Amino acid sequence: MIIADTDFLSAFLKIDKLELVFTALETKEIVITQAVLDEIKQAPVQEKLMQVIHSKDQKVIIREVNEIFSQNFGKGELESITLAKETNALLLMNDQKAAKFAESEGITTMDIPIFLLHCKTNKLISSKESKEIIELLKEKDYYEFNEEIKKILLN
């Protein structure tokens, strides 16, 4: 199972590259929690998410979470971490503090740079496509890559 937190999911929705996530992780389903859905409903990408939720091929599935860890994170992050721990799933998230906590709980996490490195290593994207994605993420999601990661992705 693959679970996506708000920041990761919305970034790929904003740049119209969510299909790359499905392809790279060899899945037809990405799971989000109700809190993540609620957070994205407040964002401009809401319509794009609704299209994927109702898609027949690749889907985003919403799962309820009853109990959550009581850490100082947003509700979407907390529910995503809780569900990932319960299901032993891969957790896609960008918040480094939340990811560090999740990893301390035994959860495997993947942020955008690691995801793109995975895509590049597996020849799913070229250096040119990496550059395009980096530029789109900066323009549409205000996401900045450190120079070391950028260098690896662009070579």
State the Cα–Cα distance between residues 14 and 29, nearest whole angstrom.
19
- Helix, strand or coil, per DSSP, at residue 83: helix
Phi then psi for 111, rounded to 5 degrees? -100, 180
The sheet with strand 2-4 has its strands ordered as 59-63, 29-33, 2-4, 90-92, 109-110
State the Cα–Cα distance between residues 63 and 80, nearest whole angstrom.
10
- pLDDT tens per residue across span 112-137: 999 999 999 999 999 999 999 999 99
Which stretch of DSSP H or E encloses residue 62?
strand 59-63
Residue 22 has pLDDT above 80, yes or no: yes
- pLDDT tens per residue across span 71-86: 688 889 999 999 999 9
Model's pTM, two decimal places? Answer: 0.91
Residue 69 has pLDDT above 70, yes or no: no
Residue 65 has pLDDT above 70, yes or no: yes
**70 pLDDT tier (thresholds 50, 70, 90):** low
Tell me the domain boundaries of the chain: 2-111
State the Cα–Cα distance between residues 8 and 28, nearest whole angstrom.
17
**42 pLDDT tier (thresholds 50, 70, 90):** confident
Residue 9 has pLDDT above 80, yes or no: yes
Residue predicted with more confidence, 155 or 90: 90
Phi then psi for 45, rounded to 5 degrees? -90, 5
Residue 59 has pLDDT above 90, yes or no: no
Residue 53, pLDDT score: 81
Fold classified for 2-111: Rossmann fold (3.40.50)
CA distances (Å), origin 116, targets 61, 90, 120, 137: 23, 15, 6, 12
